[in-house]
């Protein structure tokens, strides 16, 4: 049935995902769907309002800034659309909901990193010690002095913490660190 809908030129039209997810699985589903920009153009989800606000907030320096924010911005352009009050549901939940739209990026639009796996490994490592300076939380990747040198080369302070870096900063840092021979084992 799907084969009959494929255009003769072989270009598949991108589908859209629209879903009202159980709130407890929303992050896992987002992690599965967002890297699928070759299949889907948009993902529109009804999420718990508080979580929706956290997920679309890409501003670093926020206490809610986490690896999932870097992940979302790597793969998509998120937009908080509107709040759906709890009174619109039956039975009424204890929390409000919100509609969030994710415009998925094509692979060619992803930030340029050596490998996506090593990039997110570094991001997750950085946030494992969220309040620690990056030169400490990334010590298992390379030495503190190499981390400091990479931070300075990227125009970042040597005392930078993960919640202070934007997606672009993480990409820059990763690309500088990956040039160090010690990091080659992450490739």
Domains of the chain, each with CATH number or no CATH: 3-109 (3.40.50.150), 116-186 (1.10.8.100)
Contact residues for 182 (Cβ-Cβ < 8 A; gap 6+):
141, 142, 143, 146
**Which residues partner with 82 through β-bridges?**
99
Q: Is 118 helix (H, G, I), strand (E, B) or coil?
A: helix
Between these two residues, 95 and 6, which has the higher pLDDT value?
95
Q: How far is CA 13 from the centre of its chain?
A: 24
Residue 6 has pLDDT above 70, yes or no: no
The answer to whether 20 is a known ligand-binding residue is: yes
What is the pTM assigned to this prediction?
Answer: 0.86
The sheet with strand 97-104 has its strands ordered as 15-20, 40-48, 97-104, 76-84
Residue 182 has pLDDT above 70, yes or no: no
Give the torsion sign (CA, 125, 119, 156, 166).
negative
How far apart (Å, rounded) are the C-alpha atoms in residues 47 and 41? 19
Residue 186 has pLDDT above 80, yes or no: no
CB 81 within 8 A of CB 99: yes
- In the structure encoding, which two tokens stand for residue 48, read together? 């718990």
The answer to whether 36 is a known ligand-binding residue is: no
* pLDDT of 12: 62
Give the model confidence (pLDDT) of 110-127 as tens digits.
999 989 999 999 999 999
């Amino acid at each position: 049935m799907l084969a009959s809908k494929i255009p003769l030129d072989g270009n598949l039209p991108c589908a859209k995902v629209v879903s009202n997810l159980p709130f407890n699985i929303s992050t896992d589903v987002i992690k599965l769907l967002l890297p699928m920009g070759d299949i889907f153009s948009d993902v529109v989800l009804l999420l718990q309002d508080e979580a929706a606000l956290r997920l679309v907030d890409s501003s670093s320096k926020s206490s809610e800034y986490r690896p999932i924010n870097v992940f979302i911005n790597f793969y998509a352009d998120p937009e908080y659309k509107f709040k759906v009050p709890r009174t619109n549901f039956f039975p009424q939940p204890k929390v409000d909901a919100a509609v969030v739209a994710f415009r998925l990026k094509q692979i060619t639009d992803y930030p340029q990193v050596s490998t996506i796996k090593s990039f997110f490994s570094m991001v997750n490592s950085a946030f494992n010690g969220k309040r620690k300076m990056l030169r400490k939380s990334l010590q298992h990747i390379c030495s503190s002095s190499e981390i400091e040198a990479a931070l300075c080369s990227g125009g970042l302070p040597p005392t930078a913490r993960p919640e202070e870096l934007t997606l672009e900063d993480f990409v820059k840092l990763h690309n500088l660190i990956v040039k160090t021979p010690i990091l080659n084992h992450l490739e």
